[in-house]
Amino acid sequence: MQAKYDSEKALHAMNLDYTVLRPGLLTHEPAGKVELGITQMGAVSRESVAQVLLACALEPKTAGLTLDLMDGNESVDDAVRRVVEERVDAWTG
């Protein structure tokens, strides 16, 4: 956890476009709805992580955000749209 924190801290200090995705405990379940933004610890399917990664890569306005990801109640598209519109950022630096 310390190494992950240190790497995120260094990334935030650089002049780069980035999106940090912090998935919870990975499962082999099929993709489903998600909780994206600032969440409590939980689980998320690997397939959902892949879908959110792709959605974030295709949405340039996620640049600069750090996002927690767990299984939840929102579609991937709706969740990405919401965090972009609200500029939700889980980074607490």
- State pLDDT tens for residues 3-57: 888 888 888 888 888 999 999 999 999 999 999 999 988 999 999 999 999 999 9
Please give the DSSP secondary-structure letter assigned to residue 63.
T
User: According to the model, what pLDDT value does residue 85 have?
Assistant: 97
The C-alpha angle with vertex 69 and arms to 48 and 77, in degrees rounded to 5, equals: 60
Show the domains of the chain with their CATH numbers: 2-86 (3.40.50.720)
User: According to the model, what pLDDT value does residue 16 have?
Assistant: 86
User: According to the model, what pLDDT value does residue 41 have?
Assistant: 87
Asked if 88 and 68 touch (Cβ cutoff 8 Å), the reply is: no
Give the pLDDT mean for 82-88: 97
User: According to the model, what pLDDT value does residue 93 have?
Assistant: 66
C-alpha distances in Å from residue 57, one per residue of 35, 62, 93? 18, 8, 23
Give the pLDDT mean for 56-65: 96
What 3-state DSSP class applies to 39? Answer: coil
Give the pLDDT mean for 71-87: 97
